[in-house]
Structure 1
């Protein structure tokens, strides 16, 4: 199974600690495969990611026998950075083109992003519009893999909204999955908002990362 993963810090290596997969898990970077471990090559941060844990769990569940991760997440970015016209759009399209050229087609594309757009007060309509250009980056190159969208907006700097979540971002993520049959809802990580999940208020502990990974396993099982 090949998993293409991106978004902002919680899609990258900004979690607490480091995790070493127990099974056959690989990290793709610039045309080569490496034995996978935290921190993943290709994403920002020097700590732990959710993806190695997810890979082990998918293998434990006998959904696959090995996993290749293609991680390009970047900490602190808004959705506009990945969308057409954004400074990460070329990184996205070039990675897609390279994978296609090498015949390494993702089975699932997994997106976790929204916290920065909570801070920026991005509207539901704008978030949807921006993500549609991200979706089209894959579809225009013939990559039809299902795209999972985590429900993610929680940020402790936004607790004035009562719970730190952003209804506009959450509604946009849900609306995208209703609008397009090739998109599916991932885990609702806004619910992982306790100190045991996020010791710094933003990034996940090992408990939070395990719960995050469990959420992706459930989501993938629903669309298989």
Structure 2
């Protein structure tokens, strides 16, 4: 078996011992935190043969679990690929039942997009939970289960918590970049939230605090005006910034309320922190309807609170691309998180 590695990190395996040509191709593609290994146009006998071959080979080099759906094998992306070898990056540990658990989700600024990632030695009592596998691992960035390959804001918060307690501190992250609150409330990410929360509950974990950081995708674009819609012949995807009109306060609040309600259904005693987020990726221009909706939900739900004002963390090197946080910006947001939740953790 030979392998060919492309610049796009897509890996193709050629069999060499079945028919030559395009039908021989098996694609191994990184998607979120999984590699998807897909059989291309093979008959049943050949698929079974390849299934046995791939499972045996990947098990031998470190994969101890696989998810198989139809003709695809899902391999955890925590096994990184580099220089033609698959290697283990994270060490599994036992999930403590008496720990302080912190969960973060939303869009990219709740995910692994902080640059540079933090390589400092982590506290011994700090670990992470991978919601996809339902297992705990040593704490190391990038965090398992979240979109992106860089650092995470919650690391700065978690380190402060771990340094001020003798109890284990568990962090779970399942944010997805470039997503709307509507995705989390009504479409595919509502299912992801169900899977993540039910897995935590089945693992015997009980999150103390949830941190929601989302809003950048739901604001009005700079210079956008509803009247300009009269001059649009047709829309493409993604929608140009000039026609990104933003959600109303009512629409955002209704959707975020569903996210909070679902969280409370799984963990009624948990606290839900909502960051004020509306300007991060739009040149610093705030969209007040989103901010007002976030504040309203924080005020009107028991156990909910404003965790930080993310919009104020801007300029002076706080964001490396005018959207995502640098280590300096992440530390500031992490400190705001800690200040808002420290009394809840006692």
Normalised to the residue count of structure 2, the TM-score between the two structures is 0.60
Deviations 1:94-116 (A, max 9, x none): 11111111210101011000111
Q: Does 1:89 align with 2:190?
A: yes
The structure whose RCO (Cα within 8 Å, separation 6+) is larger is 1
Q: Tell me the equivalent position of 1:2.
A: 101
Match of 1:181 among 302, 323, 342: 302
- Following superposition, the deviation at residue 181 of structure 1 comes to 2.1
Deviations 1:5-34 (A, max 9, x none): 100000000111111452122111121101
The count of corresponding residues between Structure 1 and Structure 2 is: 218
Q: Tell me the equivalent position of 2:280.
A: 155
Q: Does 1:68 align with 2:68?
A: no
- Residues 126 and 169, structure 2, Cα contact 8 Å, conserved in 1: yes
- Structure with greater helix percent: 1
Q: Tell me the equivalent position of 1:164.
A: 285
Match of 1:107 among 193, 208, 217: 208
Larger radius of gyration: 2
| Structure 1, unpaired ranges of 5+ | none
Normalised to the residue count of structure 1, the TM-score between the two structures is 0.92
Q: Tell me the equivalent position of 2:139.
A: 36
- Residues 122 and 139, structure 2, Cα contact 8 Å, conserved in 1: no
Partners of 1:90 and 1:80 in 2: CA distance:
12
Q: Secondary structure at the match of 1:149?
A: strand
Partners of 2:101 and 2:215 in 1: CA distance:
24
What is the 5 A alignment of 1:130-149? Answer: 130-149=255-274
Q: Tell me the equivalent position of 2:249.
A: 124
Question: 1:136/1:156 Cα in 2 relative to 1: closer, same or farther (>3 Å)?
Answer: closer
Question: 1:156/1:75 Cα in 2 relative to 1: closer, same or farther (>3 Å)?
Answer: closer
- Following superposition, the deviation at residue 51 of structure 1 comes to 1.3
Question: 1:34/1:132 Cα in 2 relative to 1: closer, same or farther (>3 Å)?
Answer: same
Greater shift, 17-26 or 49-58, is seen at: 17-26
Q: Tell me the equivalent position of 1:202.
A: 323
- Following superposition, the deviation at residue 154 of structure 1 comes to 1.2
| Structure 2, unpaired ranges of 5+ | 1-99, 221-243
Question: 1:57/1:46 Cα in 2 relative to 1: closer, same or farther (>3 Å)?
Answer: same
Partners of 2:311 and 2:342 in 1: CA distance:
21
Q: Tell me the equivalent position of 2:159.
A: 56
Q: Tell me the equivalent position of 1:192.
A: 313
Deviations 1:24-69 (A, max 9, x none): 2211112110111111010001111011211111123x25643111
CA RMSD of aligned residues (A): 1.6
Partners of 2:316 and 2:189 in 1: CA distance:
31
- Residues 138 and 144, structure 1, Cα contact 8 Å, conserved in 2: no
Q: Does 1:12 align with 2:91?
A: no
- Residues 127 and 169, structure 1, Cα contact 8 Å, conserved in 2: yes
Q: Tell me the equivalent position of 2:122.
A: 22
- Following superposition, the deviation at residue 140 of structure 1 comes to 2.5
- Residues 5 and 110, structure 1, Cα contact 8 Å, conserved in 2: yes
Deviations 1:172-200 (A, max 9, x none): 11111111121011110100110410020
